[in-house]
Amino acid sequence: MSKKIPVYFSDAAFARLQQLMGEHGKPSPTLNALLENSLEPLQHTVSTSKALSIINAELQKVYPQRTCPLPVTLESIPAGFPAPSVNDIDKVIDLNDILISNPEATFLNVIKTTSMVNAGLEYGDIVVIDRSLEPRHRSIVVALIDQHELTIKRLMVSAQMSRAELEEEFGEDGQDIPERWLKAESPEYDNICLKPGQTFSVLAVVTWNLKKMLA
């Protein structure tokens, strides 16, 4: 492996890099694994290294390396509909094309809370999330609280809420209404409104819920 790379290494570090790269500079499986699990720098106002370490620990990156075309029937399927024949098939689709719009920014996460059950996210569900999407009012998002705690909640933008909605959440007085806050979709959990000194940053948007229907 050549040492002509635009980065300075100590002798010990370069020797280790050579060991990882393998003979003739061919990447070893170890280095491949490290590179494939790396992420692009986060475009957020939080600590990048801390956010990356949290994401790596909690989320699983998606690698759409193969396709699996599935048939789509021409008509809606009522109860008791028999197996479709060849003439009933309209087209075939690949779930990668539906679920993944940006492979480099797409991850999976297993829901480990019941705080979003009224939004259809139950404990154990697998959700698809996309770091490249711009969050909107009422988007279900992955948020980082105080640079160390990840949570999945509904993003609420107070300026885009009706007066009735604000009164329902904050009362008729409506004092100290935050510009943005995180809504829990379960009466057993409190919404997250930042206290003085607290911060939160939206890291990604939940796009799909891969809910298992088998008992």
Residue positions annotated with a catalytic role: 115, 153
Check if the beta carbon of residue 182 is closer than 8 Å to that of residue 156. Answer: yes
Rg (CA), the chain: 23
Q: DSSP letter string over the chain?
A: -----SS---HHHHHHHHHHH-GGGPPPHHHHHHHHT--PPP-SSS-HHHHHHHHHHH-EE----S---EEEESS---TTPPPP-GGGEEEEE-HHHHH-S-GGGEEEEE---STTGGGT--TT-EEEEETTSPP-TT-EEEEEETTTEEEEEEEEEGGGS-HHHHHHHHTTT-TT--SEEEE-SSTTS--B-PPTT--EEEEEEEEEEE-----
Check if the beta carbon of residue 116 is closer than 8 Å to that of residue 153. Answer: yes
